[in-house]
Amino acid sequence: MTGGHLAPPSRWREDRLAPQPLLIGAMLVTFAALAVAVDRRLRRKDRGRSHAVLAILAGVAAGLLVAGELVVLRLIETRVREGGKVPPDQAAGDFVGTGVGFWLALALLLVVVTIELWTRRLRRTG
């Protein structure tokens, strides 16, 4: 299917992926980190431990996000390969990529980890 042309409906294939447990886990752990952050703001006590918990949760969420993205990329790559439309001089992976949303989410989670660990260190030394 090149040149913007669609295959006839009789040749259409299902193109949806099943829910991805690793990505669902990343979302749930991110929500847990948000709950810790809100709880810390409301209670204003035991902040040292909450910095560590928040950093750990954000790190776990980042790890799950990366693992889930790799799984999804491989699934899509397999579907492209099975479609049989890959030119001989290219690989199926050449047609599969990671969008800006993934990189933005990963960057934000890593920023949270860095800030929380840095803040925890400052509180311990100062």
Under a CB-based contact definition with an 8 Å cutoff, are residues 33 and 57 in contact?
yes
- Tell me the whole-structure pTM to 2 decimals: 0.80
Distance CA 119, CA 39 (A): 17
- Regarding predicted confidence, which is higher, 120 or 26? 26
Q: pLDDT above 90 covers what percent of the chain?
A: 46
| Nearest one of 118, 23, 20 to 62, comparing CA atoms | 23
Question: What is the mean predicted confidence (pLDDT) over 39-55?
Answer: 76
The per-residue pLDDT for range 56-103, each reduced to its tens digit, is: 999 999 999 999 999 999 999 988 888 777 888 888 888 888 999 999
